[in-house]
Structure 1
Amino acid sequence: MTQFIFCVCVILCLSSYSAMSQTFNESSVAEIYEEWMIQYERSYANDIEKEKRLKIFKENLEYIEKFNNNANKNYKLGLNQFSDLTKDEFIASYTGLNTYFNISRQTSFSSNIEPSKVYHIPRSIDWREKGAVTNVRTQGACGSCWASAGLGAVEGYIKIKTGKLVSFSVQELVDCTKIGCDGAYVIDGYKYIIANHGIATEESYPYTEVVGTCQHNKTRTTQISRYITVPPNDEQQLLRAVSKQPVATHISVNGDWSAYKEGVFTGPCGTNLIHAVTIVGYGATKEGIRYWVIKNSWGPNWGEGGFMRIQRGISDKRGLCGMAMWPTYPY
């Protein structure tokens, strides 16, 4: 039976935790932990479980301190709502491996493959600045990243085409496909919109984080005719596509993703595609580090306002975290 891509959930940075240059003793860790529990409204079934989570929290706190004190890193980590989970628990609980469909062995995924053409590519672009990116979503415990990522690309395309920025309904895709919160592929969302001649707005069909009854009576306000697959494993072609509109892609994540706070993420993270995001721009730092800008679905307090900068132009043709393996966009 096909197992689909799951998604990772919302992550926040603890405001009271700003610097970690000290050596933590038991009392200071306990104090930070209690503050963290209050901020994230965390409670446990019993004291044994609480003590277990405190130990993990302390290990994560020390890991973040050590990581952030490494001057060779281009990004920073911070505490978040997953700080009482081990990395293995985080990966096991909030991601899922598709063992049936081996993406790395595919050369194409639809009949609509973007042809390679000579095209002027701007040095940088940010679709947020052009008003083509809606607010960051919070997927919660529902594995709906595939829907959020695909709709991010659809919303950008519709804004560029019509001049109107509208947030479309993730919940409709969750309720009205057989996939729901169990994870899927971005193209499943495109196919649904094409087959049903559009999709409802977020306002008329709001997100609930659980699978509900499909509401077919909602007014459909947009339409796409097809979707395009960017030539796999070609960051230059991906750059070309993103210069024209936001693009959805599948991506690999590791334990450090859960605590990402700021900067250009440089890996390592492998190519096990278990998450989906929307690429909404690209650029370079003043130091010359080239990056993609991705919109995630873990809430606006994760990362850089809900976004991440991730390194581009690496030697691996698949891109960092498999960014270039399976990017698609609506048309």
Structure 2
Amino acid sequence: MRSLCLLTILLSVTLATLNISDDERHELSRDLTLWQKKFGHDDHVRAAMKLVRGTLTTDDLLRRLKATKDQLPTIRAANPHATFSHLTKFALLTDSEFARFVSGSASVVTPLPAAPASTNRSNRSATVSGNAYSVDWTTQSICVPPVKFKGNCGSNWAIVAAAAVSSTHCLTTGDAINLSAQQVLGCSYPGGTDGCKGAGFAQHAMQWLVSHSDALCSESAIPYTSGETGLAPFCSDSTKCAGAFALQAGPIVNLRGEAALTKQLQLQPVVAFVATPNHIWKSYRGGIVTWCPPTVYVDQAMLVVGYGTHDAGFNNNTLLPFFKLRNTWGTNWGERGDIRILRGEGNDEGICKLAANLVYSTLPPMGASKATLPPMGASKATLPHQP
């Protein structure tokens, strides 16, 4: 395993030219040492740092760390229910480098048809203590694939599409699968050499998966390698996977708005397109994000995996509602790869535009579902197989 060896760089230049006080220099140097111990040999961080051009001196590293640290008071004041740090995996990336790293599915293509009328789905709804006050598909079922790291490739659209359709199949059949994001990256439009350039759309990828249900590969058959290479090869021969899955996933449709998202989450995870290239996402450690900078640009596909409420800690025991999203930045970002964002804004976009454009693969009408959520607080769920 190769590593990100910053220690050699740090020995080359003194700190004398930094325009900071001695006390601040000492503190930043200590913080940089802590960052190195945590992330200096992390393959995921090394992949992100490939975006850095040229050789970084000690001055460069400390200035980058200071720039990230200086943003904390502002984002903390705007998001009092979340925690942020300048010692995250992306701390040494400049704003432009971080934006290049997260860039992915930049917009939503031609609107898809509205969801079809419900067909015998009464038993598919989440059964959460009799009321759908909270849903978390990551802990209450086996139907959400694990967190992945997209690495040095703008492949979030492909990873999330594979996860969403995998979840739909599992919720329909009770059989957990993990479809190959690498296959989606190379085979669905635009695929091939453009796949890592963030030019793909999760909707197109999901449609490709559903329309090629007889020739899909698992993650183990075609593992994800583009995060390391930064390249997406053209579609490989997938005939070896023919018949591997009898995929059960219906047409792709879209939604808009928090109310529609909350309702659909009682049935399944949903793909969202989120605005992420800002300091909030760069420095996020945990908690509930309640504000994002205004923007018209969304760049990241994510899987919304639940919603709930959190005790805000006020005297009147106010409960803060949130959505839970699964990102593609690895488990050492956020809440083990997930993020919670304020729910209940009462508009069609939501915080960070998470509810502006929503996509899911419909659950096929197969009678009673083989996968429903157990009551909150129950033991870890497994999906029952009906005879």
SS in 1 for 2:298: coil
Residue 201 of structure 2 is aligned to residue 185 of structure 1:
yes
Partners of 2:78 and 2:187 lie apart in 1 by 48
Residue 140 of structure 2 is aligned to residue 124 of structure 1:
no
Which residue does 1:113 correspond to in 2? Answer: 115
Residue 181 of structure 2 is aligned to residue 170 of structure 1:
yes
Which residue does 2:35 correspond to in 1? Answer: 36
TM-score (normalised: structure 1): 0.80
Alignment of 1:251-270 (within 5 A): 251-253=274-276, 254-269=278-293, 270=295
How far 1:315 sits from its partner (Å)? Answer: 3.7
Alpha carbons of structure 1 residues 34 and 185: separation in structure 2 relative to 1, 3 Å: same
SS in 2 for 1:285: strand
How far 1:322 sits from its partner (Å)? Answer: 1.4
Which residue does 1:305 correspond to in 2? Answer: 336
Partners of 2:59 and 2:279 lie apart in 1 by 22
Partners of 1:45 and 1:156 lie apart in 2 by 39
**Contact 2:75 2:279 survives alignment (8 Å):** no
Larger Rg: 2
Which residue does 1:212 correspond to in 2? Answer: 233
Residue 302 of structure 2 is aligned to residue 277 of structure 1:
yes
Residue 282 of structure 2 is aligned to residue 249 of structure 1:
no
**Cα displacement string for residues 39-76 of structure 1 (whole angstroms, at most 9, x for unaligned residues):** 32469887764422321112213433x35874961101
Which residue does 1:95 correspond to in 2? Answer: 103
Which residue does 1:75 correspond to in 2? Answer: 82
Which residue does 1:16 correspond to in 2? Answer: none
**Contact 1:145 1:275 survives alignment (8 Å):** yes
**Cα displacement string for residues 142-186 of structure 1 (whole angstroms, at most 9, x for unaligned residues):** 111111212222122122111121211100011223331122111
TM-score (normalised: structure 2): 0.70
**Contact 1:149 1:248 survives alignment (8 Å):** yes
Partners of 2:182 and 2:105 lie apart in 1 by 23
Partners of 1:85 and 1:322 lie apart in 2 by 24
How far 1:274 sits from its partner (Å)? Answer: 0.8
Alpha carbons of structure 1 residues 32 and 240: separation in structure 2 relative to 1, 3 Å: same
Task: State the one-letter code of the partner of 1:113.
Answer: A
Partners of 1:94 and 1:203 lie apart in 2 by 25
Partners of 1:124 and 1:85 lie apart in 2 by 36
Partners of 1:27 and 1:320 lie apart in 2 by 37
Partners of 1:47 and 1:145 lie apart in 2 by 28
Alpha carbons of structure 1 residues 245 and 96: separation in structure 2 relative to 1, 3 Å: closer
Alpha carbons of structure 1 residues 132 and 47: separation in structure 2 relative to 1, 3 Å: closer
Partners of 1:225 and 1:187 lie apart in 2 by 14
SS in 1 for 2:303: strand
Which residue does 1:56 correspond to in 2? Answer: 64
Alpha carbons of structure 1 residues 92 and 45: separation in structure 2 relative to 1, 3 Å: closer
Which residue does 2:321 correspond to in 1? Answer: 290
Which residue does 2:128 correspond to in 1? Answer: none
Which residue does 1:197 correspond to in 2? Answer: 213
Partners of 1:158 and 1:170 lie apart in 2 by 15
Alpha carbons of structure 1 residues 50 and 221: separation in structure 2 relative to 1, 3 Å: farther
**Contact 2:272 2:303 survives alignment (8 Å):** yes
Q: How many residues align?
A: 300
Partners of 1:309 and 1:130 lie apart in 2 by 19
Task: Give the root-mean-square deviation of aligned CA atoms.
Answer: 2.9
Partners of 1:196 and 1:49 lie apart in 2 by 50
**Cα displacement string for residues 51-104 of structure 1 (whole angstroms, at most 9, x for unaligned residues):** 22321112213433x358749611011222221123243224432684xx6x5x
Greater Cα shift, 253-262 or 85-94: 85-94
Task: State the one-letter code of the partner of 1:239.
Answer: T
Greater Cα shift, 285-294 or 174-183: 174-183
Residue 248 of structure 2 is aligned to residue 237 of structure 1:
no
Which residue does 1:324 correspond to in 2? Answer: 355
Partners of 1:97 and 1:145 lie apart in 2 by 7
Partners of 1:147 and 1:294 lie apart in 2 by 16
Partners of 1:123 and 1:327 lie apart in 2 by 21
Partners of 1:109 and 1:286 lie apart in 2 by 37
Partners of 1:47 and 1:26 lie apart in 2 by 21
Alpha carbons of structure 1 residues 93 and 299: separation in structure 2 relative to 1, 3 Å: closer
